Structures are given as structure tokens and as C-alpha cells.
Structure 1
């Protein structure tokens, strides 16, 4: 039992899903100052400054009220604080999903979009509630929002009670499964043919760690890379010696995306039904 004064987990904090040891090929146990680094010292922006925690039932009612307003301009923002590849395959209806690649970009995203959050009530969510602890604290520290709330237990706990609720698509997880599902909706598409598809696989190019959505038909035709650059690298791999190939983790998929996108025109991103 950990004796750290901040260590406290109740039964409700544990989350379960189907899977086994084969899903965690690189499982390690350790003590870290931050589980998911936000790029801001935890002693400066503490989780103790986090927003108000809403139980799944309360969060569900808030989203229901937001949706009841239709397309009219609302003073409420439903904010997804995960990375773009997570929200791409699953998200809450009418959420604002920033196009960021790492959670450490989230503070800069907030800083560059403060006007977007001014005088708004923010309903924030993430996978299991961990990133919201720091993310909501950072947003509150800017003193621009009217109110900041977060989904207690994250999407995972919400789906336990509302598998056919307002969250549609898959829930991205950081293990060999890549995603778990509670409903049959597919909200993303194949990178190559645009048919509905939401099963991620790693880019086939060596040293690239990007994920790619490529349907079985396109994969059979050799489209297994995340972008044209990596596709070319893969084709040239057999013709080049290992010394010629550059060990580069990021490719044009990342380079072509603004590090911190701005969303001055969109309060929410409508879910495509």
C-alpha cells in the first residue's frame, strides 16, 4: 500500500474493460510527478485548483440541455481536452475538439484562444478524468470562464452508465487495443478511400510512430503508411541501406498541422450524424 499523503483511490476510481496481458506488452510501474505531462509545473498549477466534478448523470443532463438549444449560439462549451487522434474516432455530440497532438500543447491552445472561453460555462472531459484535473485547473487559472466543470471518471465512467448516450464512436485507449467500444457508431473514415473506418494501426514505415486509419481494402492495396512521405519511404526502404534512412519519428502528418490551432469562429464542432 502506498503511504504517500496524496495517494487515495476509492473503489469507484477503478475502471475495467475487456482485455488481457497481451494488450500491455510494455507495462511498467513507477511513481511520477505527472501521469500525463501538461508542460506546466504541477506545483504552479495544482490539480487542487481543478474544476467542479460532475458525476456521469449530471454531465449527461448538462449535455442534454446543451443539445436542446439546437444550433443557436450557446454560452456553454463542451471541451474535449484529448489529442486529435483520440477525438477523431469518438467524441461527444457538439463538442469542441482541439486539433492538438500532445496534452503538453493544451496550455498554449488555451492561451491563444482565451476569447473563445470568455464568460463561458465549460464542460470538460477526457478519457478517464486524469487530464481534466490539470487541464481544468489551467483553464480556471486564466480567470476568463464563467464556470468550469469536468466529467468525473472521464468518458470511461460515462459509457458505463450511458453506452448509447451522447458520446458516439470509439474510446481511444493507450494500449495494444487502441480503442474500446460501447456503441456501433463509426464517426471517422479511411485515410485513403474515405469509407467509414475507425480501427487504428501504426504506420508501416520504420521509425514513424503515427497512427493511421486504413481500411482492409486499402491496406491490401499497399496503403499502410500515414502519409505520402511515409508511403514513399516504405517503398524506398528495400532500395536503401539502413544508414541512408533517417530516424525521424514525426512526418508530414505532424509537420503539416499547426502546433496550436486557433478556433475563433467555432464554439463547437457539430457531430456528423
Structure 2
């Protein structure tokens, strides 16, 4: 059984793709089966996973049907199999969104057909909400991870994220700065609004993130002792607990258990 984890945000510059890439690399570093599906037309996550060239062909590329995803699956230097978005256009993106809306089980079915190892956690990187594809991917997910930047825009749009995900999003504050009183005040407001849906982890603003990206490496490789790298380790530990499968549970029951644990 695969576990689908859709990563969303409602604010520009939230760090959604960055969190997705570093979280996936951390899982791979721990020898846990993981893969990334990129549904963001920016087509940039490959670089965060160490690919030196932009992926020209992917799941959003014109002419690539969902049953052809095996052909675009890429191995990355970080050890994370990647289904890149690839180069795309507006009609192809619209067509993909229509498919997701009409075939609610299609995303999981096509991922299952790839033959990924049992227990693989598939992190789904999306475009900014209220993007139609992002909402459909969130609806299909076992767990929705909302990245909320600790900025004025992040706080203002937090309610939109919660509404777009029908209250299912577990939210992680990103870009926190303990030495800023304004940032601390915004973090308090974000936590107060999110309540139990706030993940008990925060990711700090850290120059190591930019340095790792410039070197085409993950935090676990390029800046293992940095504050942001430690934050990703804590986030990975939380995710492991939230998505740990129950032995003998059927698909529906296991999905319910994942959602229940994430809410704790």
C-alpha cells in the first residue's frame, strides 16, 4: 500500500517544493521507501533533488498520458524516485486537472501501477492553492501537509488553505525567526488559528537552505548540522508516526488510521 502525502500552500514563496524535496531526501537517507510526484508546472523540484538538467518530459507534458508515467520516472542523486512535471502548457495542465476531478481514484491507481515498493510514501508537490490540481490531489491524499510561511501573507492566507483542504490539512510553520518579535507574534497567531492541526515542528529560516539549493544537494547531505536540517529531521519523525501503517488493516481502514494519527 502506498501512502499519498500532498504538500500544499496558499501563499507564494511558502517553501512548499523545498520542504517536499528535503523531507523526501531525509526519508531516503533513512532507507525508507519514498517517491515524489511533481504537479507544479514550475518543474523545479528535480534541481532540489540533485538533477543537473531540467526534466523536459514529465506527467504534465503534452502527450504523456497517466498510464505512461513509468517512462518519465527519474532516479535522482538523492535516491528519491521522481515523477517530474516536465515542460507543459496551459491546455495540458487544464486537461490533467479535468482528469483528476473526473477520476477520483485515478491518481492512486496510476501510482500503484508503477510498482513502487510496498509502504512507499509518495510526496505530491503541488501548485499554490486554490489550484484545481492541488485541491484534487489533496482530496486523494492520505495526509495533507500544509506549509504556512510565518509571514503576514502566510497568516492572512492560512484560512484559505484550511478551507480549500476541507479542514484536513496538518500545517507546518516555515521560515520562522526566533530573533524577530514580529515573526514570533505571527507564529503565535498561526498556531492559535490552526489549533490541533498545527504540526509540533517549525522550520527555521536558515541560509543553509539556499546554499544547499545552489549546490544541488539536500540539507541531509550539504548541511546536516544546520538548524533547518534538524527541523526536517523532526518533521520526518512526525511524519513517520503520522503515517505508520497498521498491520493487517485494509486500505480504507489504514487510510482512516493515517488521518486520525495526523490529527493528534
RCO comparison, higher one (Cα < 8 Å, 6+): 2
Give the TM-score normalised by the residue count of structure 1. 0.27
* Pair member with larger Rg: 1
Give the TM-score normalised by the residue count of structure 2. 0.28
